[in-house]
C-alpha cells in the first residue's frame, strides 16, 4: 500500500478492511517520515512498514 492510501483509510469514516501478513488489522497512526504505521491486530499493537499493508476487497 502507498502512504497516501493508508492515510485515506485512516481518515475514512467507513470501515475499510486492511491486513498485514494475512491478519486483519486496524490502522491507528501513520508516521510519514519513516513510512510506517502503528496498527492493532489480534496480538496487540505493533509498527509496520506501510508498504506491507494490504487493502482487502469488499464483497457485496
Domains of the chain by start residue, with CATH: 3-55 (2.30.30)
Cell of 48: 509496520
Section 8-37 average pLDDT: 96
Per-residue pLDDT tens over the stretch 45-55: 999 999 999 99
Section 3-15 average pLDDT: 96
> What's the distance, CA 3 to chain centroid?
10
Q: Which of 35, 60, 16 is nearest to 27 (CA)?
A: 16
Query: How would DSSP label each residue in 2-53?
Result: -HHHHHHHHH-SS---EEETTEEEEEEEEETTTTEEEEEETTEEEEEEGGGE
The verdict on pTM exceeding 0.85 is yes
Do residues 19 and 40 make contact, with C-beta atoms less than 8 angstroms apart?
Answer: no
Amino acid at each position: 500500500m502507498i502512504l497516501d492510501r493508508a492515510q485515506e483509510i485512516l481518515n475514512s469514516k467507513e470501515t475499510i478492511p486492511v491486513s498485514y501478513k494475512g491478519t486483519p488489522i486496524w490502522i491507528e497512526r501513520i508516521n510519514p517520515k519513516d513510512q510506517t504505521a502503528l496498527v492493532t491486530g489480534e496480538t496487540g499493537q505493533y509498527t509496520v512498514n506501510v508498504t506491507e499493508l494490504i487493502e482487502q476487497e469488499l464483497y457485496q
